[in-house]
Amino acid sequence: MTYARLTDTTVEAITTWQNPDTYIYSYGWAPGSIDTSEIAASVRKELDAAVAEVSGQVDRPVEVLTRVVEGHPAEVLLEASAGARLLAVGSRGHGTFAGILLGSVSQHCVQHAPCPVVVIPE
């Protein structure tokens, strides 16, 4: 938010989700029909709460556009970063030893983004 305020730009807060059907079936377990609208609504609620929390911590709020996108996080973020001044991604650091410091999504974004990337730890 501070960077956006200093550079007089808009923040685009994006979160993603993936349909569980796309990866559950590969493990041989097939659930009943999943209502993906409930997943999207839950993700939207979490995004709105996070933006409200962060927006309340700055003196002069900036314009924040929010988007919930179905898809792989790294792919969605890289596509959204085209033309951006900066890509800020979070990192939970789950996974292999290399993933302790950077999660797989943040690492992929650092390596492939068309703009500068800042990784913010959890």
CATH of domain 2-121: 3.40.50.620
Record the pTM. 0.77
**Tens-of-pLDDT digits for all 122 residues of the chain?**
788 888 889 999 999 998 766 655 555 555 556 677 788 899 999 999 999 888 877 666 788 999 999 999 999 999 999 999 999 998 775 555 554 566 789 999 999 999 999 998 87
DSSP helix/strand/coil, 87: strand
| Contact of 80 with 14, CB cutoff 8 Å | yes
**Domain segments of the chain as ranges:** 2-121
Bridge-partner residues for 14, per DSSP?
Answer: 67
